[in-house]
């Protein structure tokens, strides 16, 4: 286990880690990819479609970084454009219509910072996902498998359960971004990583996630088998919950630490 | 400011080659330089015009000034005024920063919430405060806004919200990020109850606030010239190594791209808000 939080950031970004499609292909059967947001284009940074979890039909969505240099460039290094988030929402709405649970795999430095992304409403696309996911009438489980970069990650994580891989990170801003804004020095990223409390253990103790997944056998068959069993078990419980949406509301509603001043 | 201006040549405007007539002013009256037309405008004149320069430039406005401008006289009742953020991560320097900002801004947090009447129409109102850590959203801002939408849903009131924000407050880490989900869920419940939410985006509305409740209103208005976007322009320039198009992320540009219903100058806002509230209130 790593000593400092910034080491976790490096591990979370490691090119050798399994990517979204590895999880989809190893956990589910017969994945059929569905493309496009029906509005503008198909964003290769987000893949989504229908598959079976054992025998149960599910909708799966993953942010995909790619492995080779060519793949990574094609996937825009896992930084989605608005149409990626809109595709994800389209597939989630479809899942709701047909009563399928949704499983999301998240791995992004953040939503793409581009001219076109702004022109096509990056902020609006993320906002719409947050709004619509809050009332989806089907179970949603989101798993952070690498980087969980800010709003671009949260846009797929308004879920009933959020799990993190042991060496994934989840943060409001990258440590480099934080260091350069607060201390005008991106080299202080190590300090920022420690201050931001972005490790899986931090997220769990802050009540942001429910479960940390061990990486001891990452990429091996047992690793994917274990995640599959956990998903099956968890979805079994969630699918029978008549107050699923109410509990999802409460899950996020209680997050935050406030004080009251009397003067 | 005023003192500095004594030292400047009186015919500064002509020097700059501008054709506008010099602004009449009394000797020694405090004034503010307009970043758009570069004229020094007497503060009294700006105040009389809701901090809008004669050239049309909208200066930033404090939350309570905006409430005074928008709400009917004596109608504003503040809610959750005692709620503040803690320092849950023990983030270095955060506590001191907040204390300093509290004294300087006179506000306890970066949003002011309450009930009010606008043109006789009852509503809930929130106004973000640019003078408090640039309206950044931490736990308290998220809690106040979520609570306000819940209150409005219970009392069947519309919500009028003025946004100004640099985004999520990084000193509260993930807890700040989660406020985006929390506020969005509260907006959805209010919306599902069939109630109206009007957002007025003011300069600047960016980051996690754009990517949550700023962009979730039934009707989205913006002030002229306001910067509205998700990522910061500088970050985009550095990431893409491209020159940004003219007017990028300005309210006019954002409306042209379909994300804002209309641009409403400050002087017209109360009239427009009143009419919209009336129309949705069966009148």
Collect all residues of chain A within an 8 Å Cβ-Cβ radius of residue B236.
Answer: 113-115, 118
Kindly determine whether residue A115 and residue B242, on different chains, have CB atoms separated by under 8 Å: yes
Give the residue on B whose Cα is nearest the Cα of A250: B182
Collect all residues of chain B within an 8 Å Cβ-Cβ radius of residue A198.
Answer: 173-174
DSSP code at position B245: P
Exposed/middle/buried for residue B25 (C-beta within 10 Å: 0-12, 13-18, 19+): middle
Read off the pLDDT of residues B28-81 as tens digits, 9 standing for 90 and up.
789 999 999 999 999 999 999 999 999 999 999 999 999 999 999 999 999 999
- Chain A residues 162-191 with CB within 8 Å of chain B: 170-173, 177-178, 181-182, 191
| Residues A2 and A167 sit within 8 Å (Cβ to Cβ) | yes
Looking at residue B105, its pLDDT comes to 95
Chain B nearest C-alpha distance from A153 (Å): 10
Span between the terminal Cα atoms of chain B, in Å: 47
- Measuring CA to CA, which residue among B150, B7, B170, B188 is closest to residue B89? B170
Chain B nearest C-alpha distance from A221 (Å): 32
Give the residue on A whose Cα is nearest the Cα of B241: A114
Q: Is pLDDT of B22 > 60?
A: no
**Across all residues in chain B, what is the average pLDDT?**
91
Asked if A253 is an interface residue toward chain B (Cβ–Cβ < 8 A), one would say yes
For residues B7 and A30, which has the higher predicted lDDT (pLDDT)?
Answer: A30
Q: Is pLDDT of B21 > 60?
A: no
Q: Is pLDDT of A212 > 80?
A: yes
ipTM rounded to 2 decimals: 0.97
Record the pTM. Answer: 0.94
**B181: which 2 tokens?**
């989900």
Give the residue on A whose Cα is nearest the Cα of B107: A261
Looking at residue A263, its pLDDT comes to 58
Of A116, A172, A193, A204, which to mutate for an interface test with B (greatest number of B Cβ within 10 Å)? A172
Spatial distance between the Cα atoms of A211 and A63, rounded to a whole number of angstroms:
20
Spatial distance between the Cα atoms of B159 and A189, rounded to a whole number of angstroms:
40
Count, in order, helices (H) and strands (E) of chain B.
11, 10
Spatial distance between the Cα atoms of B188 and B170, rounded to a whole number of angstroms:
25
Integer Rg of chain A from CA: 18
Kindly determine whether residue B140 and residue A258, on different chains, have CB atoms separated by under 8 Å: yes
- Chain A residues 26-55 with CB within 8 Å of chain B: none
Q: Report domain extents, chain B.
A: 13-59, 60-279
Kindly determine whether residue A158 and residue B185, on different chains, have CB atoms separated by under 8 Å: yes
CA A170 to chain centre: 9
Q: Out of A170, A181, A257, whose CB is closest to B86?
A: A257
Chain B nearest C-alpha distance from A173 (Å): 7
Architecture of domain A5-253: Alpha-Beta Complex (3.90)
Spatial distance between the Cα atoms of B218 and A213, rounded to a whole number of angstroms:
40
Read off the pLDDT of residues A223-254 as tens digits, 9 standing for 90 and up.
999 999 999 999 999 999 999 999 999 999 99
Exposed/middle/buried for residue A14 (C-beta within 10 Å: 0-12, 13-18, 19+): exposed
Provide the 3-class DSSP secondary structure of residue A213: strand
Provide the 3-class DSSP secondary structure of residue A170: strand
Q: State the fold for domain B60-279.
A: 2-enoyl-CoA Hydratase; Chain A, domain 1 (3.90.226)
- Measuring CA to CA, which residue among A146, A191, A45 is closest to residue B91? A191
Kindly determine whether residue A252 and residue B142, on different chains, have CB atoms separated by under 8 Å: no
Q: Report domain extents, chain A.
A: 5-253
Q: Is pLDDT of A178 > 60?
A: yes
Kindly determine whether residue B83 and residue A258, on different chains, have CB atoms separated by under 8 Å: yes
Spatial distance between the Cα atoms of B249 and B229, rounded to a whole number of angstroms:
6
Q: Is pLDDT of B173 > 90?
A: yes
- Please state, in angstroms and as integers, the Cα–Cα distance from residue A156 to each residue in A60, A73, A130, A159, following that order: 11, 22, 8, 8
């Amino acid at each position: 286990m790593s000593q400092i939080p910034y080491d976790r950031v490096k591990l979370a970004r490691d090119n050798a880690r399994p990517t979204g499609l590895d999880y989809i292909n190893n956990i589910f059967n017969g994945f059929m990819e569905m493309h496009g947001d029906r509005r503008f284009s198909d964003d290769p940074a987000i893949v989504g479609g229908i598959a079976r979890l054992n025998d149960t039909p599910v909708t799966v969505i993953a942010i995909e970084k790619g492995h080779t240099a060519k793949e990574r460039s094609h996937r825009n290094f896992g930084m989605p454009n608005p149409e990626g988030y809109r595709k994800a929402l389209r597939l989630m709405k479809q899942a709701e219509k047909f009563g399928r649970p949704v499983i999301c795999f998240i791995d992004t430095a953040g939503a793409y910072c581009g001219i076109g992304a702004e022109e096509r409403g990056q902020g609006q696309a993320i906002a719409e996902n947050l709004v619509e996911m809050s009332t989806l009438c089907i179970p949603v489980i989101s798993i952070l498998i690498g980087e969980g970069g800010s709003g671009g990650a949260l846009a797929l994580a308004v879920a009933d359960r959020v799990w993190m891989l042991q060496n994934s990170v989840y943060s409001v801003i990258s440590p480099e971004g934080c260091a350069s804004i607060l201390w005008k020095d991106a080299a202080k990223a190590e300090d920022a990583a420690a201050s931001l409390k972005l490790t899986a253990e931090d997220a769990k103790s802050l009540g942001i996630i429910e479960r940390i997944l061990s990486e001891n056998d990452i990429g091996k068959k047992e690793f994917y088998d274990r995640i599959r069993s956990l998903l099956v078990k968890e979805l079994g419980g969630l699918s029978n919950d008549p107050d699923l949406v109410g509990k999802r509301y409460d899950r996020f509603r209680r997050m935050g630490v406030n004080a009251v001043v009397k003067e | 400011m005023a003192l500095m201006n004594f030292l400047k040549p009186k015919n500064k405007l002509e020097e700059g080659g501008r054709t506008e007539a010099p602004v009449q002013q009394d000797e020694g009256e405090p004034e503010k330089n307009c970043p758009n037309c570069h004229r020094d405008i007497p503060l009294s004149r700006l105040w009389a015009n809701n901090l809008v320069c004669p050239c049309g430039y909208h200066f930033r406005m404090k939350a309570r000034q905006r409430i005074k401008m928008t709400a009917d006289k004596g109608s504003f009742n503040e809610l959750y005024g005692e709620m503040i953020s803690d320092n849950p991560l023990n983030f270095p320097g955060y506590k001191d920063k907040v204390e300093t900002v509290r004294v300087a801004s006179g506000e306890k947090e970066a949003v002011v919430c309450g009930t009010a009447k606008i043109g006789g129409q009852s509503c809930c109102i929130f106004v973000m405060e640019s003078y408090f850590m640039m309206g950044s959203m931490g736990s308290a801002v998220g809690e106040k806004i979520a609570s306000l939408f819940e209150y409005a849903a219970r009392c069947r009131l519309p919500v009028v919200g003025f946004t100004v924000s640099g985004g999520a407050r990084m000193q509260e880490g993930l807890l700040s990020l989660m406020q985006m989900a929390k506020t969005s869920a509260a907006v959805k419940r209010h919306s599902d109850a069939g109630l109206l939410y009007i957002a007025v985006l003011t300069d600047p509305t960016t980051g996690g606030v754009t990517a949550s409740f700023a962009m979730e209103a039934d009707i989205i208005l913006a002030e002229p010239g306001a910067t509205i976007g998700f990522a910061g322009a500088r970050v985009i320039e550095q990431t893409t190594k491209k020159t940004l198009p003219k007017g990028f992320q300005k309210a006019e540009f954002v409306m042209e791209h379909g994300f804002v219903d209309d641009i409403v100058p400050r002087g017209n806002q109360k009239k427009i808000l009143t009419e919209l509230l009336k129309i949705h209130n069966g009148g």
